[in-house]
Amino acid sequence: MNFWVIQGLNGLAFGSLLFILASGFSLIFGLMRIVNLSHGAYFMLGAYVGISAMAAGASFWTAILIGGVAIAVLGAVIERLILRRLTGQPLAQVLVTLGIAFIIADACVWIWTGDPRPVPMPRELAGAFRIHQLAFPIYRLFVIGVAFTLAAALWFLLERTRLGAMIRAGVDDLNMARAMGIRTSVLFPVVFCLGSALAGAGGVLAGPILSVYPGLDTDMLPLALVVVILGGVGSLLGAFIGSLIIGFIYSYGQALFPDLAYMILFLPMVLVLTLRPTGLFGRQAI
Amino acid sequence: MTAPALEVTGLHRFFGGLPAVRDVSMRVPVGERRLLLGPNGAGKTTLFNLIAGDFPASRGEIRIFGENVTGKTADQRTHLGMARTYQIITLFPKNTLVHNVVISLLGLLKLRFNPLSDIRKHTALWDEARSILALVGLEHLAERTVADTSYGEKRRLEIAMALAQKPKLLLLDEPLAGLSADERRDVERLLQTIPRDVTIIMIEHDMDVALAFADVITVMQHGQIVVEGNRAEVVADPKTREVYLGH
């Protein structure tokens, strides 16, 4: 019994981290039609920046902020100087983001070396939460809380605000949104920075659970991709449900069938792409 | 002299090696009702898409109210007073009718108020959207989702969304296509209520309505303009006969 509950909570915590990463990935994909293959690298770079900030004396919380802002700025520069020039050339955009991912990965090894870096947990969240014979790290519960709060905040942004109405219009039909006078040239950098910031901050937040190491980017990116395919492009609800599903599959799969973990993870993606190309909650086919 | 609402010079658009629009030049003065005629594949909708900025021209120049918009994006052109409807109805189907009109109003709003503020609290915006729906006789369906409305209602909503932008130049791509006789009458009546200072360029296959509506007619074939003139001139021109009857 304990096994199922603990693995369930682990799955929820991992799904929460995935949501922080995948929500931005999905929004960028849905609005700008860019499969941003550097999104995993943003996650890893954000974590490294956070480590350096902490080494320089910043608190864990300030490091999350610094990681988020740094990657948002990087995202803004990449969107403005590179991706915008390639508007209407999706293949070129995908290849460019892949190239950027490799560059970031190499730069990280160069700056932070190839050794895995543990990220210290904030003291106030150390320790375990106990009920009867169950003990679960408080930090993981905190990560779950952050993801649910973020989901609520993003829901409010997209469903209730003027900016959100324009973003949703763009996700639904970009040409129509432009014909309505919606300035997509303003929306694109906003969404790209928001997605990048979430990836960067998410990397720091994930540090105490996953630690930071070369290859973290390529470990996380396919999972974000599976989440978006499963949930549906540009759908916040899809990213949320998809992240939790993948989190549970990942957690139980690793524990029960470690040899088949990847098969269990990617099989739903293959099935969804074959049977329901729009994903569970999306409108556009992948 | 006032600049024309639309001036197109030497416009070309190639898809791969295939020319969809070839050396099109036209001048539409302010307030004119212009009809674009031509068989399927003549390049009419491609010309619309080029004017609206949905995709770039391969060659040539487009001016809206004297301003060169050739390199401008679709939303920038909309901000110059241009609005359009699509041949295939394009709306936001999961949203209500009133929400669709609100979106069309949002695009042209200046960032006077906080973009992060709750959209439901901007009552003036929703009131204006409802009054625009009333204009096209859809006020009673304001809270219905687009997916639950008839084809004719969707067409009227599309025109409402274009009118919401208070356009000075309106491009209508087959606004009567697929409508029943009653719905057609409704849309015709609606088009007649559009103020005369709004320039309208329309693609339409219903000849009776279209010819009654138009001041000037442009006939296209194989991506080129073959005849241009008033109704009598175009009807009398043997090239029109050739385009439609093949002899």
Chain B residues within 8 A of A160 when measuring between CB atoms? 118-120
Residue B87 lies in a domain: no
Residues B34 and B64 in one domain: yes
* pLDDT attached to residue A175: 84
**Contact check, Cβ <8 Å, A164/B119:** yes
For residue B242, what pLDDT is reported? Answer: 84
Q: Report yes or no on A226 lying in a domain.
A: yes
Q: How many domains does chain A have?
A: 1
Looking at the fold, whether B144 and B193 belong to one and the same domain comes out as: no
Q: Are residues B9 and B60 in the same domain?
A: yes
Residues B160 and B179 in one domain: no
What CATH number has the domain bearing residue B46? 3.40.50.300
The answer to whether residue A228 is domain-embedded is: yes
Q: Are residues B171 and B159 in the same domain?
A: no
Q: Which residue range forms the structural domain that includes residue A192?
A: 2-275
**Which of helix, strand or coil describes residue B164?**
helix
| CB-CB neighbors (< 8 A) of B75 in chain A | 177-185
**Is residue B86 domain-resident?**
no
Contacts of A30 in chain B (CB under 8 A): none
On whether any CB of chain A is under 8 Å from the CB of B113, the answer is yes
Q: pTM here? A: 0.84
Using CA atoms in the order A96, A98, A102, A104, what is the torsion angle rounded to 10 degrees? 70
Residue A42 lies in a domain: yes
Chain B: give the shortest CA distance to residue A122, in Å: 31
* Residue B221, beta-bridge partner list: B224
How far, in Å, CA of A274 to CA of A259, rounded?
25
Whether B106 and A162 lie within 8 Å, measured CB to CB? yes
DSSP assignment string, B82-128: EEE--SS----TTSBHHHHHHHHHHTT--TTS-TTSBGGG-HHHHHH
Rounded to the nearest 5°, which phi and psi values hold at B21?
-135, 130
Q: For chain B, how many structural domains are there in total?
A: 2
For residue A282, being part of any structural domain is answered with: no
Cβ–Cβ gap B161/A180 under 8 Å: yes
Q: Is residue B110 one of the residues assigned to a domain? A: yes
pLDDT digits (tens, 9 = 90+) for B116-135: 788 888 888 899 999 999 98
Is A184 in CB contact (< 8 Å) with chain B?
yes
Kindly state whether residue B130 falls inside one of the protein's structural domains: yes
pLDDT at A53: 97
In a domain, B66, yes or no: yes
- CATH of residue A263's domain is 1.10.3470
- Regarding whether B10 and B22 lie in a shared domain, the answer is yes
- Say what the pLDDT of residue B40 is: 86
Taking the CA of residue B171 and the nearest CA in chain A, the distance in Å comes to 11
Is the CB of residue A176 less than 8 Å from the CB of residue B90? yes
Task: State residue A285's pLDDT score.
Answer: 53
Residues B161 and B171 in one domain: no
Q: Give the whole-number percent of chain A exceeding pLDDT 90.
A: 60
The sign of the torsion formed by the CA atoms of A32, B115, B129, B165 equals negative
B238 lies in some domain: yes
- Is B61 inside any structural domain? yes
Residues lower than pLDDT 50 in chain B: none
Mutation to test the B interface, candidates A162, A186, A281, most B Cβ within 10 Å: A162
- For B96-111, write each residue's pLDDT tens digit: 999 999 988 988 777 5
Name every chain B residue with its beta carbon within 8 A of the beta carbon of A179.
52, 54, 74-75, 78, 83-84, 86
Query: Do B188 and B160 share a structural domain?
Result: no
**CB of A174 within 8 Å of any CB in chain B?**
no
A77 at B interface, C-beta within 8 A: no
Containing structural domain, residue B113: 92-165
Which of residues B165, B185, B217 is at a domain's end?
B165
| Cα torsion A158, A238, A233, A25: sign | positive
Which amino acid makes up residue B205? Answer: H
- Conformational region of residue A215, where left means phi above 0, alpha means psi within -120 to 50, and beta covers everything else: left
Nearest to A181 among B75, B94, B102 (CB): B75
B147 plus B171 within the same structural domain: no
- A89: in domain: yes
Mean pLDDT of all residues belonging to chain A: 91
Residue B98 phi, psi (nearest 5): -65, -35
Q: Is A245 inside a domain boundary? A: yes
Measure CB to CB from residue B108 to each of A88, A161, A181 and give the nearest one.
Answer: A181
Same domain, B126 and B8: no
Q: Work out the average pLDDT over A103-130.
A: 92
- Pair of tokens at residue A79: 């969107």
Contact B75 A182 (CB under 8 A): yes
In a domain, A209, yes or no: yes
pLDDT at A284: 60
Q: Are residues B16 and B136 in the same domain?
A: no
**Of B126, B143, B165, the domain-final residue:** B165
- Residues B74 and B195 both lie in one domain: yes
Q: Please tell me the distance from the alpha carbon of residue A212 to that of residue A63, in angstroms, as a whole number.
A: 14
Asked if residue A284 is part of any domain, the answer here is no
Using the Cβ of B106 and the Cβ atoms of chain A, whether some distance falls under 8 Å is answered with yes
Region A25-32: mean pLDDT is 88
